[in-house]
Each structure stands twice: as C-alpha cells, then as structure tokens.
C-alpha cells in the first residue's frame, strides 16, 4: 500500500475535509479481552491435542481421529493464528477522520464508515499510555460482542455487524485534535 492518504482521498464526499490519517500499530498484540482469551485458548488447545493423541494411540478409531482434527486446528488458531491474522490485517488497515465521518479501509475492498457528528464516541487509552482506541457510534449488542473485535476473533461478531473503530493508534495527540475538530463540526 502506498501513501495512506491517497487511499482515502477518492472516498471523500463533496465538501468533506480529511482531518487525520493513521494506521494501527501492528506491534500491539494484546487487548484486555486476552486476559480471558489466552487461558481459554491454552485450555482448548491442550484438551484438543490430548483428545487427538488419545484417539490416535489408544482408541484408533478413524471417526475419533477425524473428529478431533477440527478442534486441534481451531485450538492452534486460538493460540497462534489469531495473532498472525491480526498483525496482517493491521498492516493493511488505514484510518481516516473527516469533518463528518470516521473511515476504516482494510485492504483494497473493505471500507466502513460512521458519522462522527452527534454520535457517541468512546476513547480508550492503553495502559501503557502510548496508544489509543476510538469506537464510533452506538454500541448496542456490540458492547457485549465487541469484546472480540481487535483480537483476531472478530468473526464471532460478524453477524451483528462490526463497530467502526480505530484500534491501537500511536498518534494520540493528532487523533484527539482531529476528533475535537470533527465534533465541533
């Protein structure tokens, strides 16, 4: 991907001004949800591997061996794969804030946006104080299912719709200034 700004400019509507452009920091791996997800994934993966090993060495029934394979694969994704997926997605993601919308572009095909004027905006500063995540719009069920966003397990909330959010942004001051400008309108 070349210049992030050039990716967003064609998406602007008439009269819209691009106030800020940024990207998520791919080095940020963990979210607060990982306090639950990491132990769960280790338990899931450990049990799946134990099941598969027992099915292969003790039971030796093809059905039991085949039955365990998807659980081992899901366990491996929970433990390792989601972090790889998350890092790759972050590298392909661009955030833009205009005087009226928040825009998230992921790759060449996925674009989502949310109005910023008159909409609730949730700003979460990371514990280390070096990153900020901003969620735009009404959360509704996303408050419950939104825990999976930015974890590599985002597909759990796909049926409910994804919230438009800027995750793990390092340019805290630039984003905050742009948010203030956009919300003043």
The verdict on pTM exceeding 0.75 is yes
Give the tens place of pLDDT for each residue, 109-142.
Answer: 889 999 998 888 889 998 888 999 999 886 655 5
DSSP state string for 78-146: IIIIHHHHHHHHHHTEEEEEESSEEEEEETTTEEEEEE-TTS-EEEEE-TTSS-EEEEES--TTHHHHG
Give the tens place of pLDDT for each residue, 91-109.
Answer: 999 999 999 999 999 988 8
């Amino acid at each position: 991907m070349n210049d992030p700004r050039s990716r967003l400019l064609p998406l602007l509507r008439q009269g819209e001004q691009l106030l800020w452009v940024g990207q998520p920091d791919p080095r940020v791996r963990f979210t607060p949800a990982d306090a639950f997800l990491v132990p769960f994934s280790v338990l899931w993966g450990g049990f799946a591997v134990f099941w598969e090993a027992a099915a292969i060495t003790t039971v030796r029934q093809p059905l039991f061996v085949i039955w365990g394979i998807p659980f081992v694969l899901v366990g491996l994704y929970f433990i390792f794969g989601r972090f790889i997926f998350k890092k790759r997605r972050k590298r392909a993601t661009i955030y833009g804030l205009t005087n009226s919308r928040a825009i998230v572009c992921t790759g060449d095909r996925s674009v989502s946006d949310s109005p910023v004027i008159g909409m609730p905006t949730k700003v979460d500063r990371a514990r280390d104080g070096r990153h900020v995540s901003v969620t735009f719009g009404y959360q509704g069920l996303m408050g419950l299912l939104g825990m999976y966003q930015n974890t590599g397990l985002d597909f759990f909330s796909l049926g409910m719709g994804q919230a438009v959010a800027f995750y793990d942004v390092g340019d805290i001051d630039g984003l905050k200034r742009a948010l203030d400008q956009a919300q003043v309108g």
